[in-house]
Amino acid sequence: MTNDKSSLQQTCPAILMTDGPANSELLGNQADRERRLAIEAAEPRNLLVLSAFQVLLRVGWIFKTETVIMPDFMDAIAGAGWIRGLLPVLNRVGQSVPPLVFSDALQRSPLKLRTLLGITTLMAVPFLALGAIWALVNDQKVTWLPPLFLLLYFLFFSLNGLNQQAFGTAQGKLIRAVRRGWLMGLSGFIGSVSAVLAAIWLLPGWLKLPNNAGYAPIFLFNGGMYLVGGFVLLLGLEPRDGADRTPKSPVWEQFRGAWRLFWTDAGFRSVGWVAMCFISALLLFPHYQWLGREQLGATNANLLPWVVAQNLSLGVFSPLLGRIADHRGNRLAVRIAVFLSALTPLVALWLASRQGEGSLTWYSLTFALLGLCPLTIRTIQNYVLELADESQHSLYLSTMTVCLAVPFVFSPIVGWLVDTFPYQWSFGAVSAVIALGGLLTFRMPEPRSTEANEEGLQKVTKDTKKT
């Protein structure tokens, strides 16, 4: 395709005999139409590329799950509940502030896939470094190791926040709204199955190594998968965006813009409150494995079944939520996922109270429900994309990351409460807050009209038959 003036003049010579604002606008409209046609033509290929990218990241991610692997490693080098409670704080702060600072630069980037490639490659560095350090260290209780780990952990999640923001922006540009659920379902199903197979193959041997030596290959494999996933993006097709001639915004303007967006856009504000209630689920993430150890006598041998349960459930829920999102809208998918997530702390308490044969096996159901958390976040992001014009996708996504970070100022307090008071209080309170988020979904508007949804789905059906 071409978008130069000479090509357009052959079809509209009379219009382009003189220069002027009207002709510039016509050229811009023609270029935008050609850009959209190129994006739609490349959509089947980009669906496969983005799906493969997500699959490879999922395979790497299972080797650092926030509910099992990371808190267990934290306990190996430290052990205190309040330190374990720092993990969710660093997780969400890292995934909120850097994306907001980066939002203007990302929106100006003419090739979103190349930006995503660079960020994903950098994501590998913290875990490659951590794996190398763990392989070389002799004293696992050395005092400098916990702060170094927390620093690398924060760096990783800062990059992961940028990764999610760049992926969402690239997806908003290259994939239509009624196919984003299909992408989530395909990558979630294949990714979870692939991740489970990799974990079953590699994790048992590594976890059995004496003195926790298996964490070195675990972290090195994790970082290696991010490198491979990043380079898969080179196979994508993306037309270059036009030059953005608006002045660059200073950093503080990004924060002001996020604040204005939250208070002036009622639709975004409604989903923002839902997100803040839902994300409180992650406050308990480091404590589920602790609960299994304390109440049921779990050991490292039980980590693999828990990891498998969490990732297999992601594979089951991904196509279900994706289909609901494509056919009935992301709002309904968010509502279902949030209400199901509210049950997780209560299910954990009930299963942890069951003593006897098979109690540890049944406790795996807790981690099966936890597989909903990343899917719910992705569905919320897809909902947010539908509220905004493409030129505002980066701002909307980065502002949502801030909403998702707000509750995490309470994470160390939750860790302290778990250690100090009956842990049932913390688990019950978090369940109630998540349920409140489910009720607030009834205040969220539906951005996708019935007519547009049906028209898009008809086109998707035709495209699917072709591919």
Q: Encode pLDDT of 149-206 as tens digits.
A: 889 989 998 999 899 989 988 998 898 888 888 888 889 899 989 988 998 899 888 8
CA distance linking residue 213 with residue 114, whole number of Å: 36
Q: How far is residue 109 from each of residues 62, 225, 384, measured CA to CA in Å?
A: 31, 25, 20
CA distance linking residue 218 with residue 215, whole number of Å: 5
pLDDT for res 85: 66
Average pLDDT, the chain: 81
Length of the chain: 467
Count Cβ atoms below 10 Å from residue 328 Cβ, excluding itself. 15
Which stretches of 288-423 are assigned E, i.e. beta strand? Answer: none
Q: How confident is the model at residue 404 (pLDDT cuts 50, 70, 90)?
A: confident
H/E element holding 434? helix 423-440
pLDDT at 420 over 80: no
Q: How confident is the model at residue 245 (pLDDT cuts 50, 70, 90)?
A: low
Query: What average pLDDT does range 61-89 have in this prediction?
Result: 73
134-148, 251-265, 362-376, 445-459: the lowest-pLDDT one? 445-459
Q: Report the candidate in 95, 171, 117, 164 with the shortest Cα–Cα distance to residue 390.
A: 171
pLDDT at 125 over 90: yes
8-22, 269-283, 374-388: the lowest-pLDDT one? 8-22
pLDDT at 326 over 70: yes
Residue 443: both structure tokens together? 């205040």
pLDDT at 330 over 80: yes
Query: Directed axis angle between helix 145-174 and helix 97-108, to 10°?
Result: 40
Tell me the torsion sign for CA atoms 203, 205, 208, 213: negative
pLDDT: which is higher, 437 or 247 = 437
Q: Reduced to 3 states, what is the DSSP secondary structure of residue 273?
A: helix
Q: Is 55 exposed, middle or buried (0-12, 13-18, 19+ CB in 10 A)?
A: buried
- Contact call for residues 274 and 338 (beta carbons, < 8 A): yes
Q: How far is residue 156 from each of residues 91, 149, 150, 274, 290, measured CA to CA in Å?
A: 9, 10, 10, 26, 24
- Contact call for residues 342 and 431 (beta carbons, < 8 A): yes
H/E element holding 193? helix 177-207
pLDDT for res 9: 40
Question: Rg of the chain over CA atoms, in angstroms?
Answer: 23
- Contact call for residues 332 and 201 (beta carbons, < 8 A): no
pLDDT at 209 over 70: yes
CA distance linking residue 361 with residue 443, whole number of Å: 39
CA distance linking residue 161 with residue 337, whole number of Å: 22
pLDDT at 80 over 70: no
pLDDT for res 79: 60
Residue 341: both structure tokens together? 């997530």
pLDDT: which is higher, 348 or 72 = 348
Query: What average pLDDT does range 199-215 have in this prediction?
Result: 86
pLDDT for res 246: 61
Q: Reduced to 3 states, what is the DSSP secondary structure of residue 230?
A: helix
Q: Report the candidate in 6, 455, 53 with the shortest Cα–Cα distance to residue 236.
A: 53
Query: What average pLDDT does range 46-67 have in this prediction?
Result: 88
pLDDT for res 16: 37
pLDDT for res 14: 40
pLDDT: which is higher, 20 or 411 = 411
pLDDT for res 450: 44
Give the architecture-level CATH label for domain 47-466. Answer: Up-down Bundle (1.20)
pLDDT at 2 over 60: no
pLDDT at 464 over 50: no
Which residue matches tokens 């990043």? 230
pLDDT at 291 over 90: no
Q: What is the pTM of this model?
A: 0.74
How confident is the model over 20-38, as pLDDT tens digits?
444 444 445 676 777 788 8
What angle is formed at CA 117 by the lines to CA 456 and CA 234, rounded to 5 degrees?
75
CA distance linking residue 414 with residue 82, whole number of Å: 8
pLDDT at 18 over 60: no
Cα 42 to chain centroid distance, Å, stands at 24
pLDDT at 443 over 60: yes
Burial string for 64-76 (b: 16+ CB within 10 Å, else e) reads: bbbbbbbbbbbbb
CA distance linking residue 434 with residue 282, whole number of Å: 10
pLDDT for res 300: 67
pLDDT for res 5: 39
pLDDT for res 65: 74
pLDDT: which is higher, 291 or 227 = 227
pLDDT: which is higher, 234 or 76 = 234
Residue 252: both structure tokens together? 């503080």
Query: What average pLDDT does range 62-67 have in this prediction?
Result: 77
